[in-house]
Amino acid sequence: MKSALFVCGGWEGHEPEKCARIFAPFLEDNGYETEISTTLNSYLDGEKLRSLDLIVPIWTMGTITEGQERGLIGAVEDGVGLAGWHGGMADSFRESIRYQFMVGGQWVAHPGDIIDYEVNITDHEDPITADLRDFGMHSEQYYMHVDPANKVLATTTFSGEHTPWISGNTIPVVWKRKWGEGRVFYSSLGHVAKDFDVPEARTLVERGMLWASR
């Protein structure tokens, strides 16, 4: 049986444990044993981490110790999958540059806060996005700094209504990448659990977790 670890905490506005309980049953239905942890000390047990197939971090902001960072990054380098979304993965540990390098991007802003915007699928052949069409969201539209080495699967374009100097800028929403022997998946969708009522937003994470898994 495969195994997955959700690590939940940080800023509670992103509903980390509630979101974990959306996706843990999906993995269980696909043959995974899941654990939901609420402490970053889960990253200290290197032997346990390396026995996993997938880590799902849901931890917005906060700080990570050198040992916790080393355990997490080392596990992914050795082949454990990493998959997550929104600020729970790309606005974590703002002082940890190595973590940001592994994720492949970092949140910058969400102009206008909760707004209507469109997500555009840019790769219709990839198994994560196959058969999905462009779709709308009513949530935070993430403006991000991203690694050009990412394989981008979906994007969004900013109108400039709330921040004029980014008018027309297109920013990745969904990407995948490698970190050492591990696979990394990220989606900027999922500000709160209700955002995953949008079928496409939920499907992207479900497929992304399966792709990233060892």
In this predicted model, what pLDDT tens digit does every residue of 156-195 receive, in sequence order?
999 999 999 999 999 999 999 999 999 999 999 999 999 9
Q: Residue range 138-165: average pLDDT?
A: 98
The domain made up of 2-212 has a fold known as Rossmann fold (3.40.50)
Confidence of residue 112 (pLDDT cuts 50, 70, 90): very high
- What lies within 8 Å, CB to CB, of 14 at 6+ separation is 58, 60, 86, 87, 88, 190, 191, 192
Confidence of residue 144 (pLDDT cuts 50, 70, 90): very high
Q: Residue range 195-214: average pLDDT?
A: 98
Confidence of residue 83 (pLDDT cuts 50, 70, 90): very high
What is the DSSP code string of the chain?
-EEEEEEEEE-GGG-HHHHHHHHHHHHHHTTEEEEEE--GGGGG-HHHHHT-SEEEEEEEB----HHHHHHHHHHHHTT-EEEEEHHHHHSB-TT-HHHHHHHTEEEEE-TTSEEEEEEEE--SSSTTTTT---EEEEEE--EEEE-TTSEEEEEEE--SSSSGGGTT-EEEEEEEEEETTEEEEEES--SSGGGGGSHHHHHHHHHHHHHH--
**pTM confidence score:** 0.97
Q: Residue range 150-155: average pLDDT?
A: 98
Q: For position 121, what pLDDT does the model report?
A: 98
Q: For position 44, what pLDDT does the model report?
A: 98
Query: Terminal CA-to-CA distance of the chain, rounded, Å?
Result: 12
In this predicted model, what pLDDT tens digit does every residue of 24-81 receive, in sequence order?
999 999 999 999 999 999 999 999 999 999 999 999 999 999 999 999 999 999 999 9
Confidence of residue 213 (pLDDT cuts 50, 70, 90): very high
Mean pLDDT over the full length of the chain: 98
Q: For position 47, what pLDDT does the model report?
A: 94
Q: Residue range 102-127: average pLDDT?
A: 98
CA-to-CA distance for 53 and 115, rounded, in angstroms?
A: 36
Where do the domains of the chain lie?
2-212
Q: For position 192, what pLDDT does the model report?
A: 98
